[in-house]
Chain A
Amino acid sequence: AQSVTQPDIHITVSEGASLELRCNYSYGATPYLFWYVQSPGQGLQLLLKYFSGDTLVQGIKGFEAEFKRSQSSFNLRKPSVHWSDAAEYFCAVAPSGGSYIPTFGRGTSLIVHP
C-alpha cells in the first residue's frame, strides 16, 4: 500500500520569502502525486498534480512541485509567499491504477509572518 510522509508539522516563513514544503512517498511503481491546500474552515482544494511527463509541475496560486523519483519526493515550492498562503498543506499519493483514490499525508501547517 502507498503512504506519504510530511516531515514538517509546522513551517514559519516571512511574507515575501520563498517556501518549500517536503513530501516523501512510498509506492512500488510510478505514483500519482498531489498537493492540496486547506484554509481554515474550508475543504481541501487541489493545488497541483503529477501523473506523468514533465517532473516539474505548475499549479494554481503560483505554486510548483518537482517529482524526484530517486528521492521518492514531491516537494512543493513557491518563490514568494503571501499572507493569504497561510493554511494547511497536504501531500497525497494515489496508485497508478485501480481506484486512483489518494492517500493523504498528515499535513504541514504554514504560518506566514508579516
Chain B
Amino acid sequence: DAMVIQNPRYQVTQFGKPVTLSCSQTLNHNVMYWYQQKSSQAPKLLFHYYDKDFNNEADTPDNFQSRRPNTSFCFLDIRSPGLGDAAMYLCATSRLNLASNEKLFFGSGTQLSVL
C-alpha cells in the first residue's frame, strides 16, 4: 500500500563522499518534492519538480542536486556531504500544483548520517 517509497530508511556516508537518496511513487503524481528536516527543526523545501520542470529554492546549496528520470522516480544527490547535511530527507508528491483540493503525500523519509 505504500504510495511514496523512500529507500533506504537509514543511510550512512562519509564526509565528502557523494550519496544518492531515492524516492519512488505509485500515485502517478505530477509533482515531487524534496524536504530537508534537521533535528528539532521544520522541514525545509529544497526543490521540486513539476513533471520535468525543476524548481530550485533560492537558498538550497549547490551541493544538492536532483534528478527525475521519469514520473515515478526522483533522486536527491549530495555531491560532497558535510556534517551539517546530516538530517532526515523527506520526499513528497502531489497530483498537481497544490491548490484547494490537493495535498502533499509524504514518504517515511531517509535519515542521513555523515561520519
**Range for the number of chain A residues in contact with chain B:** 20 to 34
Q: A35 CB to closest chain B CB, in angstroms? A: 12
The DSSP consensus for interface residues of chain B is loop
Contact A100 B97 (CB under 8 A): yes
Q: B83 CB to closest chain A CB, in angstroms? A: 21
The DSSP consensus for interface residues of chain A is loop
B-side residues, CB < 8 A to A, are 4, 9, 33, 40-45, 48, 55, 90, 92, 97-100, 102-109
A-side residues, CB < 8 A to B, are 4, 9, 41-46, 49, 51-52, 90, 94, 99-107
Q: Can you list 8 pairs linking A and B with CB atoms under 8 Å apart? A: A44-B43, A44-B106, A52-B100, A90-B42, A94-B98, A101-B33, A101-B48, A102-B104
